[in-house]
Amino acid sequence: MSEKVIMLGNEAIARGAFEAGVKVSSAYPGTPSTEISEYLVQYKDDLYEEWAPNEKVAAEVAVGASIAGVRAMACMKHVGLNVAADPLYSVSYMGVNGGLVFVVADDPGLYSSQNEQDTRMVARAAQVPVIEPSDSAEAKEFLKAAFELSEQYDRPFIFRITTRLAHSQGIMELQERADIEDKAYEKNIRKNVMMPGNAKLRHVDIERLNKELAEAANTLPINTVEMNDTKIGIITSGIPYQYVKEVLPQASVLKLGMVNPLPRKLIEDFASKVDTLYIVEELDPVIEEQVKSWGIKAIGKEIFTTQGEYSASMLRKAILKEEVVTKTPAQAPQRPPILCPGCPHRSVYHVLNKLKMHAAGDIGCYTLGAVAPLSVVDTTMCMGASISTLHGMEKAKGKEYIKNWVAVIGDSTFLHTGVNSLMNMVYNNATGTVMILDNSTTGMTGHQEHAATGRTLQGEPTYSIDIETLCRGMGIKNVIEVNAFDLAELEKTIKEETAKDEVSVIITKSPCVLLDKSKKPVYISYEDKCKKCGMCLKPGCPAITKNTDGSVYIDDTMCTGCGLCEALCKFNAIELVKAGE
């Protein structure tokens, strides 16, 4: 007898992988996909899961497992697919042995991303099929279908979800794990070695297989037709289906579970039966452009936006022309993004701000060094770009130009794509200073392990990459480790290293304050000693506020005892006290 449970979308995907008989999963943490791998750990007796240094490596690990004959997947967010694009485009030609699925989480609305790209566009370019669920229950079942179709049609699949699905809950029935027999490995140079001659032949094969899959899509059970009132017909997929059903419960709906390739016959038949056809899809007009290219009249982005998440209210206004009146929301005080109390990045940025330095930034918590009052980070583009950006500035303007610049990058991001960028600086005779802000975790996505933490995703101890040794191994002579909270030493080091005419690396080592959840010593302020100079307020610690008379107050429920405020106070108005005193 099956058990009914409530699961998050990401948890349902992990369960789907378990039930599908997946044996290998590799991933790099990236919101909103991170929790998939964290939920997978509960099944570690049945399948292997790991954190890879980046998404390219994760994809290649999954490909290797597929070639060996087992079901495998790689998980990432949409910008991570860019990093994995090289193996993706080639394995599209190669095909699979064991089922192969790339789970990719898009982020409409930019909740935690630097862009809003649509993975379906990448998949079309790579000629990779795409399946998209509309709720948690479908996420579990559609993932199982993706593995079956992958093996049936010799195609890797992309399983596309969005933030809303990843982090919303639904009811589903648990089932037993499928007993999938490993496929035998057979040496096949023509299929698995993508040299030009073989790739040309494989391109012909995948075009044929994609046509067969497109034809099969017309009858696949993951594409469903709900015929009701034929005055309005809606073609949709994924989370937007939920909004369509809320706003237009009587409309006829074609819900696509497979969004690439599209089931042309099914779409043409559905379109012929409705008076007015709408295509409702978030982000790019991927479905719309193809449908219109077939001569089918439809309404899409003429009335719908290509930006952000959709909503029921938006559909009411666009389709039904209803004026949506909403209650004025509670006027909560604004809470701009800010570094946590006790964050070691704050002290680093305070010193850089004091020295009037500019920073080429990267992807991580430390991106918040761009906002007031720290206001140090000038650029943020993608993982690992800080180092390459600084290098490009130097080659454009000369070594004197970057004397007041540094590149800042986290420990996990450095291992993700920063290593190659630093290697490029050494190889091409650069002189810039790189600051690796080592907080001993992958902080922004929720404290995941990485290759320098000494522990795997499964919680097993492992060799910890020594970042200092790694940098020295590249031939960098100037590699200095500094405590992020030693302000005097940090300032001295930055001045010395940025003045040199050779590559320097400063590693600021202080663990993320949230790694230790136990109560720490805290600081208190004495109003009678406070001179109201404001020095302790400059780093912008949220635990410190200004009283009406200009003196400061330290909230002991927020203070983590980092000591930055005490180090800045010259009047002994801030003092360390033990927790509970």
Residue ranges for the known binding site for [4Fe-4S] cluster are: 530, 533, 536, 541, 559, 562, 565, 569
DSSP sequence for 489-557: HHHHHHHHHHTSSS-EEEEEE---GGG--S---EEEE-TTT-----GGGTT--TTEEE-TTS-EEE-TT
**Binding-site annotation, residues:** 530, 533, 536, 541, 559, 562, 565, 569
In sequence order, the 6+-apart residues with CB closer than 8 A to the CB of 262 are 214, 217, 256, 287, 290, 291
DSSP sequence for 387-450: HHHHHHHHHHH-TTGGGGEEEEEEHHHIIIIIHHHHHHHHHTT---EEEEEE-SSBTTTT-B--
Q: Which two tokens stand for residue 422?
A: 């630093």
Neighbours of 495 (CB within 10 A): 12
What b/e string do you get for 403-435 counting C-beta neighbours within 10 Å, with b at 16 or more? bebbbbbbbbbbbbbbbebbeebeeeebbbbbb
Strand partners, 553: 545
Nearest to 29 by CA among 524, 542, 453, 479: 453
Give the torsion through C-alpha atoms of 372, 374, 376, 380, to 10 deg: -60
**Distance, CA of 513 to CA of 510 (rounded, Å):** 8
Identify each DSSP E strand in 215-303 by its residue range.
Answer: 224-226, 229-237, 251-256, 258-260, 276-280
